[in-house]
Amino acid sequence: MIDLKRYNKGVKSGKFICQLVKKIKHRIGTRSASRRFGREGFTVVEMLVVLGVTSVLASMFVSQSGVLRDQVVLFREEAQVIQSLFKAKTYSIQVLAEEEGGNKSGCGYGVFFENMGEELNGKYTIYFRKRNLDGTCPSGEEIKYNETTNTVVKSVNNIDSKIFIRGDSAANFVFIPPYPEIFIDRESNKDGKIFLCLKSQTDFCRGVEVNKVGQITSKK
């Protein structure tokens, strides 16, 4: 006959052994997983190298983005100067139309650049040159911008503080109807240029040229 007490003890012992084996397997699996995770991760030295390279690349990107922003400002100022010169040229044609209609009101439109040099904040003025009191138009150098009552200021434009006008004196670009004739810096029938440069990168400049027949172009 089967001894029930011994049988029950054997069953309990078997259950205990199975539970103990399961616990051992679980612990072994957890340790191997942690070891495996440790082998696949980064060491402290590797992390420091990655952080160092990332910081260098980030500083290079920041410096380059600053230069690019300044260049964008320069191109924007160049476009505005070209637009102002075209505006003065268009206004001079309008003056011609007024004179043909019997209203002799003016002699031309011009753009006057001043405050040239790296240390100054440049600006340029679009102006209208009226006739003299006797009804005649000034000739030669007298046609340029001045602060007399015969000059009417249409607009004053300040150059961005990051940009300067290259040169050491003022510059005049005057469009005189009917052609229009171009008067540039005390002379007529010649080409003229104005250069805008970065203060942070003085060798990076953009030029605007007006030739003797009134064509306005962008130059490096």
Residue 143 — very low, low, confident or very high, per pLDDT cuts 50/70/90?
Answer: confident
Indicate the residue type of 64.
Q
With vertex at residue 121, the alpha carbon angle to CA 119 and CA 123, rounded to the nearest 5 degrees, is 140
Most trustworthy range by pLDDT among 52-56, 76-80, 176-180? 76-80
CATH of the domain at 191: 3.55.40
Buried b (16+ CB within 10 A) or exposed e, 171-182: bbbbbbbeebbb
Q: Determine the structural domain holding residue 104 and report its residue range.
A: 68-219
The predicted structure's pLDDT at residue 3: 43
The predicted structure's pLDDT at residue 187: 58
Q: CA–CA separation, 47 vs 110, rounded Å?
A: 63
**Is the peptide bond prior to 138 cis by the omega test (within 30 degrees of 0)?**
no
Asked, for residue 151, whether it belongs to a domain, the answer is yes
The domain tally of the chain equals 1
User: Which has more pLDDT, 43 or 152?
Assistant: 152
The predicted structure's pLDDT at residue 205: 93
pLDDT in tens, 64-118: 566 788 888 999 999 999 999 999 988 887 765 555 445 566 788 899 999 999 9
Asked, for residue 62, whether it belongs to a domain, the answer is no
